[in-house]
Amino acid sequence: MTKFGTVYKKGGKKALLCGSGELGKEVAIELQRLGIQVIALDKYENAPAMQVAHKSYVLSMLDGARLAEIIAEEKPDYIIPEVEAIATSTLVELEKEGYNVIPTARATFLTMNREGIRRLAAEELGLKTSPYRFAATKEGYLEAVKQIGIPCVVKPIMSSSGHGQSVIKSEADIEKAWTIAQEGGRAGAGKVIVEGFVDFDYEITLLTVRHKDGTSFLPPIGHWQKDGDYQESWQPQPMNNGALEKAQEFAKKITDALGGRGIFGVELFVKGDEVIFSEVSPRPHDTGMVTMISQDLSEFALHVRAILGLPIPNIAFHGPSASKAVVVRGDSENVTFEGLDEALALPDTSIRIFGKPDVHDHRRMAVLLARGASVEEAREKVNQMYGKLKIEI
């Protein structure tokens, strides 16, 4: 039987969010709804989740000593990572001391780095992936490109959201792709992965939740990416039965290997009946923001239920839905949004404005959500909403 005390009192439960972006903000709200105390961490002040948390700390989450200090002081019941860039070896140590890292410290450690998760999926679990080579030096890189062949995709092993990622379409791109990867990695210059370019029909995120009574799959989410970053997602992505079964089989294998409780975003490429594993987030996924309008329990609510050991007897799906990221370009410390009255006049629509304090270059600041009679209609609606939105920087 699950028993929660009152916030701030003995017996009250405490969750520490490592990362306070738009996904963390929704997790914080879901925790709050169940009376859990939320402590939000990030590297800058007024990050979205901090605005709805009980308490927050500003630090570099890659600073293991500082992270351990805060955890020793707060003694959270749950440590919930929201991003990849965390001192995950510190989380491994803290888990040994008895802390509950979501879903497991090993899962956060392996997925922080493209090499860890790729080797687990392809070499240990035998999941089909694109052909790949890792390279730590320029020489090794040139050899890797030769072995994989053109076209191929080059990514820093420590990166996400398309940072440092590029496609080699002809020999002329080889030098440039190396430079982009060396300049765009999270940890600065370093090792890269060279992957064969997958000419997929479509790509999906298969949200998979490991909870106290087993594993549940959400309807597949299709998405469209530009420069390695998500622009639009929709649910459900139409799939033939063979491909869906295979996708679920891959998702079950990789999430079982990572273990623990919570939601996972399993990213897969599909071509005909063939399913190719790309990567997995052991946490809510940005393309899964569509579930804030498509389901009664969003990916964030499901994550929290799973973490707290609460049941997930069913996941009610409300029908075809879409999301569109609002990426603001320019430099500003006071972005304004106008035209919401017109955008939200369309039925079955919603918006989340994240409340990020500033933009430098480009930043995802909001997401538009809509339901429709079909996925096409829902996508059309989020694009119409986008047309009505006026953003000033």
Least distance to ligand AMP from the beta carbon of 16, Å? 26
Query: Residue 363 or residue 388: which is nearer to ligand AMP going by CB?
Result: 363
Residue 56 neighbours by CB distance under 10 Å: 20
Set 364, 371, 372, 379: catalytic member: 364
- At 206 the three-state DSSP class reads strand
Cα–Cα distance for residue pair 280/119, rounded to 1 Å: 13
Set 84, 173, 203, 267: catalytic member: 267
Is 286 noted as a catalytic residue in this protein?
A: yes
Is 143 noted as a catalytic residue in this protein?
A: no
- At 259 the three-state DSSP class reads coil
Least distance to ligand AMP from the beta carbon of 254, Å? 14
Residue 272 neighbours by CB distance under 10 Å: 10
Encoded tokens for 326: 């609002």
Least distance to ligand AMP from the beta carbon of 279, Å? 5
Query: Residue 46 or residue 182: which is nearer to ligand AMP going by CB?
Result: 182
Q: How many residues does the chain have?
A: 393
Burial 200-214 (b: 16+ CB within 10 A, else e): bebbbbbbbbbbeee
Residues facing residue 22 across a β-bridge: none
Query: Residue 88 or residue 166: which is nearer to ligand AMP going by CB?
Result: 166
Set 210, 286, 288, 305: catalytic member: 286
Set 88, 160, 321, 323: catalytic member: 160
Is 287 noted as a catalytic residue in this protein?
A: yes
Least distance to ligand AMP from the beta carbon of 40, Å? 25
Set 90, 129, 166, 287: catalytic member: 287
Query: Residue 228 or residue 355: which is nearer to ligand AMP going by CB?
Result: 228
Query: What CA–CA distances, in Å, run from 231 to 154, 250, 385?
Result: 21, 25, 14
Least distance to ligand AMP from the beta carbon of 19, Å? 17
Least distance to ligand AMP from the beta carbon of 266, Å? 11
Cα–Cα distance for residue pair 302/319, rounded to 1 Å: 18
Encoded tokens for 119: 């080797």
Is 364 noted as a catalytic residue in this protein?
A: yes
Query: Residue 77 or residue 229: which is nearer to ligand AMP going by CB?
Result: 229
Is 160 noted as a catalytic residue in this protein?
A: yes
Query: Residue 200 or residue 317: which is nearer to ligand AMP going by CB?
Result: 200
Set 162, 228, 339, 355: catalytic member: 162
Least distance to ligand AMP from the beta carbon of 349, Å? 26
- At 32 the three-state DSSP class reads helix
Cα–Cα distance for residue pair 139/167, rounded to 1 Å: 19
Eight-class DSSP state of 97: T
- The contact set with ligand AMP (CB under 6 A) reads 130, 153, 155, 160, 162, 195, 197-198, 203, 225, 228, 267, 278-279
Residues facing residue 353 across a β-bridge: 366
Ordered alpha helix ranges (H), 46-173? 64-74, 88-96, 105-111, 114-118, 138-148
Set 63, 274, 279, 342: catalytic member: 279
The sign of the torsion formed by the CA atoms of 185, 186, 192, 193 equals negative
Is 190 noted as a catalytic residue in this protein?
A: no
Cα–Cα distance for residue pair 95/68, rounded to 1 Å: 11
Is 374 noted as a catalytic residue in this protein?
A: no
| Residues 264 and 212: beta-carbon distance below 8 Å | no
Encoded tokens for 77: 């019941």
Query: Residue 168 or residue 343: which is nearer to ligand AMP going by CB?
Result: 168
Query: Residue type for 302, please?
Result: L
Residues that are catalytic: 160, 162, 267, 279, 286-287, 364
